[in-house]
Amino acid sequence: MTSAPAADEETVDLLIYSDDVDTRRAVIDSVGRRPGKGLPAVRWTEAATRDGAFTKVRNGDFALLVLDGETAKAGGMALARELKSEIYDCPHAIILTARAEDRWLATWADADAIVPAPYDPIALQEAVAGLLQQHAGASR
């Protein structure tokens, strides 16, 4: 279980979508509480189904989405494409792919970053940190 940021600490909300609890946990553990120097602490929301993720994104205020391209029934790529086309000012999305060769499909899905399996903790942290820096710049 991840520790929650202190009440007075600046935080941003991130969503992790995967039907695999181990994948969700690996991403959360890899990114950690603070993905980079000078960045706010992160607070994760988990979603295991397409409908749950879509509703949470529509009703939430997420700085970033991490979507598992290998989720059964409705993969992260299809969800990213749908979210980006239906939600105004949709948050940046990182897509987790099964293989580096799936980059072209993640690009079609309008991914802002792609992390192929096996999921390297440093690559995940760098992808999250980079997009959070972009988000912080756009928010100013």
pLDDT digits (tens, 9 = 90+) for 102-126: 888 888 999 999 999 888 999 999 9
CB 117 within 8 A of CB 99: yes
Q: Which domain holds residue 61?
A: 11-139
> Which residue do the tokens 């970033």 mark?
64
Q: What total number of domains does the chain contain?
A: 1
Residue 3 confidence (pLDDT) above 60 = no
pTM (2 decimals)?
0.90
pLDDT digits (tens, 9 = 90+) for 8-64: 679 999 999 999 999 999 999 999 999 999 999 999 999 999 999 999 999 999 999
Q: Would you state the pLDDT for residue 1?
A: 45
Q: In what order do the strands lie in the sheet with 113-116?
A: 41-47, 11-17, 64-68, 92-97, 113-116
Assign residue 124 the CATH number of its domain.
3.40.50.2300
Reported as a pLDDT band with limits 50, 70 and 90, residue 7 is low
Q: Residue 106 domain-assigned?
A: yes
Closest CA to 15 of 48, 38, 39: 48
Residue 77 confidence (pLDDT) above 50 = yes
Q: Would you state the pLDDT for residue 9?
A: 77
Q: Residue 68 domain-assigned?
A: yes
Residue 138 confidence (pLDDT) above 80 = no
Q: Residue 4 domain-assigned?
A: no
Amino acid letter for position 19: D
